[in-house]
Structure 1
Amino acid sequence: MSFAVNKNEKIRVTIEDLTHDGAGVAKVEGYPLFIQGTLPGETVDIHVLKTLKKYGFAKLLNIVEPSSSRVTPPCHVFPTCGGCQLQHLSYESQLIQKRKSVRDVMDRIAKLPDVPVHEVKGMDDPWRYRNKSQIPFDTENDRVITGFYKARTHHIVDTDVCLIQTKEADELMTMLKYKLQQLGIETYDEHTHKGMLRHLIVRKARQTGQVMVVLVTRHRKFPQKDAVVELIQQQLPNVTSIMQNVNTANTNVIMGNEMITLYGADVIIDRIGDTEFEISARSFYQINPVQTEVLYQQALDYANLTGNETVVDAYCGIGTISLFLAKQAKEVYGVEIVPQAIEDAKRNAELNNITNTRFEAGPAEEIIPKWYAQGKQFDVLVVDPPRKGCDEKLLETILTYKPKKIVYVSCNPGTLARDLRILEDGGYRTKEVQPVDMFPHSSHVECVAWLELTYVAQQ
């Protein structure tokens, strides 16, 4: 099979676009090549690494003409670390590129070229925004290393600083890296399934300043446990919770099933707006607290509640969006497949003295029809699914019962566009899409879409 380019060929190309994961795209006689570290408009010299039937991969050798939007990344391990993909692109240009990526899938996948996609709502200060860090440990050449995984690998890029996580997380990972060997605590080796300390997890509540530290260990028995707890308290006087998570499995899943409280409470408290939430070690809670408020306010604006509506919140998690909605709705029904999350949601409703919510664990496509069978009628449906988008059966359920309005919160524009096409074919019309930048310097973008039922499709 012949290609426009050959493996190991060295050529000069112009970058035309970025992929969804931040790689530059060049085309040679229509054949796409993906090149990490390049930006649209740049002329670059590349080395072709691999050619497949429909596309290939190449390595950047030299930037001949840089983009005017190129900046010097402030992080010393970019781009080796896989945490960020776009630090070499100015933040203003990142927002433009993210809007373009949403516009592209609305046109190409959703077939909705006339639906407005607004400018991305970005951050005034797009650094130090992550309220949760999951930091792996390893030992290399008899030295403890910690940091973040190289892209698409489980090889740790050793660092003491991450500019998108909290300073508390930086301080703890650095301190532990240099103290573990002194204490004789071995780091976990996922190849041999030996060693003790697997991960450090740090969660910080932005509004209250409370910090939770989770030490993920291979055994329940934790040598030098008291010494480690004391070191953490000395390093972070504002720590309010220190937990041990026991993960005995030979797996790359971070946490196991057993939680042990080593110090303080087993939750921390944070606020979004004037709503308080208890956050446990396992709770799903949006990573960027500043932008979470922007995202949820956008969902609330699109719901446009008057106080008379009954709302269903599918994929409700610990009740974050549900409780926002409940303050302006008649009733809110939340459903989530994870039982522990539902218990958290009920507790969070009690914490805020909110009495017009009902939460139930189970698949949304089963629970929502049950509620309808009980005589409930829903005016507004809010969905906030995982990256894979809405479950096919849930979409079928929506098109069967047809709530008048849908607010779709999405962390993946591609699956959002796919689902919008299905809902459009079932009688809904997408009014507009608002992207929100939850993850500056990464290629990810979240969106909120507003849909209205306009007709009942023929069955």
Structure 2
Amino acid sequence: MPLTTIESLDHEGRGVARVDGKAVFIEGALPGETVEYAVDRSRPNYAQGHVLRVVHASAQRVAPRCPHFGVCGGCSMQHLDAVAQAAVKQRVLEDALWHVGRVRAGIIHAAIHGPAWHYRDRARLTVRVVPSKGGVLLGFHQRRSSYVADMRECAVLPRHVGAMLDALHELVATFSIADRVPQIEMAVGEDGTVLVFRHLLPFSAADESRLADFADRHGVQVWVQPGQPDSARLLHPQTAPALRYTLPEFDLALAFRPTDFTQVNVHINRLLIRRAMQLLQPQAGERIADLFCGLGNFTLPIARSGAAVVGVEGADALVRRARENARSNGLEALTEFHAANLFETTEDSLAALGPLDKLLIDPPREGAIAVVKAISAQQRPRRIVYVSCNPATLARDAAVLVHEKGYRLSGAGIANMFPHTSHVESVAVFEHCG
């Protein structure tokens, strides 16, 4: 088998080597290592493979904590020291900004770190019934596969959720519709934990009784979801406190439904909001827009500064939740919320929001290309803070802001929202040059 030396990591956490002028992407390899590898796929310009043996190990290599590592697709970087992971992600961000957008940040902000283990307060676990593999399989998908990595423990889920995995296997196996329960969604809030059971056929009375017993034994809320996310309902107990997360620095509590989008890592979310507010510098008397505002994660901290904020979000349900959160936190007078498809933003629709001093954008992976293209001389916020979960689309949008709209990228940095994965969360700040 061939040997090679690894030069860097790619955006998916694979080692990158050059062999006979061709890039080779090798699962499980780290920069500086000499490895023996096998080729899984070869194309004219690149090849993909996996490590067979590490001949010379990196000083940053560590023993993976999880026994499922290498099979489960939930984590791809447990073999790399957690601090080094953040450095790799910072390089991924800088490389994307330059190679995709031809822009460089004036300042590279220090990476935002948090707990490396048991940090994940949200997850969707896939369920399959496969008699040939022992019955119920439950876990994340296998790496680069639609198959399920059958998890009996997990080092990134909260400890009390990881401790339920065996019991969840046993519970699903008792259902009358076990093969029609494709997913269990987990959401943890300040006051409790919810498990949402997605089901394609109705549960029987006996099934519901078992679900209620499970909820009582494990101290969780059980919800059932027969259709789209808004069909989810509380099954047991009959009454339970709403899920919420808090932002103590801003004296805020935000309520959410278990199927709503919220950040998976409450610790990093708090630090990310702090960083965004430091960069945005909202002031009383300013008017600021928060685009892709969700249920108010950034809107309400901005409003707490005394600035007037208009939040725009595509999902009607999240707009309702944002209004409710503004009301419960005493910020109705400083906030307004609208539902709109921001992927279809035009100069006219952006101008309809009224004059804006500053702008915060927090889009999904697709980015906010329509928004940045819609910025005009008539509607040109002097500062833009862009929170991104995809360096490639951030870089693409940064190119428009810098090369076409007259902004400079004054700073950027990553937040390690998903330790042990290749996911890169980042925040960038743009200031208009005029």
TM-score, L = length of structure 1: 0.88
Report whether the alignment pairs 1:77 with 2:68: yes
1:98-177 to 2 correspondences below 5 Å: 98-113=89-104, 115-123=106-114, 125-140=115-130, 141=132, 142-177=134-169
Whether 2:335 is the aligned partner of 1:357: answer yes
Q: Which runs of 5+ in 2 are unaligned?
A: none
> 1:367/1:335 Cα in 2 relative to 1: closer, same or farther (>3 Å)?
farther
In the TM superposition, residue 220 of structure 1 has moved relative to its aligned partner by 3.1
Instruction: Name the CA distance, whole Å, in 2 between partners of 1:105 and 1:342.
Output: 32
Q: Which range moved further: 43-52 or 78-87?
A: 43-52
Q: Which moved more, 1:354-363 or 1:223-232?
A: 223-232
User: Aligned Cα RMSD in Å?
Assistant: 1.9
Q: 1:18-51: CA deviations, max 9, x gaps?
A: 1101111110132101110000001011222322
- RCO higher in structure (CA 8 A, sep ≥6): 2
Contact 1:311 1:329 (C-alpha < 8 Å) held by counterparts: no
Deviation at 1:408, TM superposition (A): 0.4
Q: 1:371 to 1:394 in 2, by over 3 A?
A: closer
Q: Partner of 2:107: helix, strand, or coil?
A: coil
Rounded Cα–Cα distance in structure 1 between residues aligned with 2:42 and 2:149: 28
2:192 and 2:243 in contact (8 A); partners too? yes
Question: 8 Å contact 1:197–1:217 — kept in the other structure?
Answer: yes
Displacement of 1:367: 8.3
Give the superposition deviation at 1:388.
1.6
Given that 1:98 and 1:120 are in contact with CA atoms closer than 8 Å, whether structure 2 keeps it comes out as no
Q: Given residue 52 of structure 2, which amino acid in structure 1 is its aligned partner?
A: L
Amino acid of the residue matched to residue 145 of structure 2?
Answer: T
The answer to whether the 8 Å contact 2:7/2:32 transfers is: yes
SS of 1:229's partner is helix
Cα drift, residue 223 of structure 1:
4.2
Of the three residues 413, 434, 440, the one matched with 2:413 is: 434
Instruction: After TM superposition, list the pairs within 5 Å mapping 1:284-295 onto structure 2.
Output: 284-295=261-272
Give 3-state SS (helix, strand or coil) of 1:450's partner.
Answer: strand
- Of 11, 14, 18, the match for 1:20: 11
Q: What SS class does the counterpart of residue 149 from structure 1 fall into?
A: coil
The 5-angstrom pairing of residues 165-244 of structure 1 reads 165-181=157-173, 183-188=174-179, 196-205=180-189, 208-237=190-219, 239=220, 241-244=221-224
Q: Which aligned pairs between 1:371-390 and structure 2 lie closer than 5 A?
A: 372-373=351-352, 376-390=354-368
Q: Which residue identity does 1:449 align to in structure 2?
A: A
Equivalent position of 2:54 in the other structure: 63
Which stretch shifts more, 61-70 or 133-142? 133-142
In the TM superposition, residue 93 of structure 1 has moved relative to its aligned partner by: 1.2
Structure-1 separation of matches of 2:331 and 2:170 = 46
Query: Match of 1:52?
Result: 43
SS in 2 for 1:157: coil
- Name the CA distance, whole Å, in 2 between partners of 1:272 and 1:415: 28
SS of residue in 2 equivalent to 1:224: helix
Please name the residue that 1:407 is paired with: 385
2:402 corresponds in structure 1 to 424
SS of the residue corresponding to residue 429 of structure 2 reads strand
Letter of the 1:270 counterpart? Y
Q: Which position in structure 2 is the counterpart of 1:97?
A: 88
1:267, 1:281 within 8 Å by CA — same for their partners in 2?
Answer: no
**Structure 1 residue 83: Cα displacement:** 0.5
Post-superposition Cα deviations, 1:369-414, rounded to whole Å, max 9, x if no partner, equal 446347x210011000111211x32122124521111010011112
Indicate whether 1:345 and 2:326 are aligned.
no
Whole-angstrom CA distance in 1 between matches of 2:98 and 2:273: 25
Question: Out of 231, 251, 254, which is 1:258 matched to?
Answer: 231
The aligned length equals 424
Q: Is contact 2:191–2:241 with CA below 8 Å preserved after alignment?
A: no
Deviation at 1:136, TM superposition (A): 1.6
1:230 deviates by 2.8
Aligned equivalents of 1:112 and 1:177: distance in 2? 49
Question: How far apart in 2 are the matches of 1:233 and 1:373?
Answer: 48
Q: Indicate how the Cα distance of structure 1 residues 397 and 12 shifts in structure 2: closer, same or farther if over 3 A, else same.
A: same
The answer for unaligned runs of 5 or more in structure 1 is: 1-9, 189-195, 248-254
- Which range moved further: 345-354 or 273-282? 273-282
Does the residue aligned with 1:159 lie in a helix, a strand or coil? coil
Contact 1:243 1:266 in 2 (8 A): no
Query: Is the contact made by 1:147 and 1:158 (CA closer than 8 Å) also made in structure 2?
Result: yes
Deviation (angstroms), 1:64: 0.9
**CA gap 1:48/1:269 in 2 versus in 1, 3 angstroms:** closer
Cα distance 1:373–1:78, how it changes in 2: closer, same or farther (>3 A)?
closer
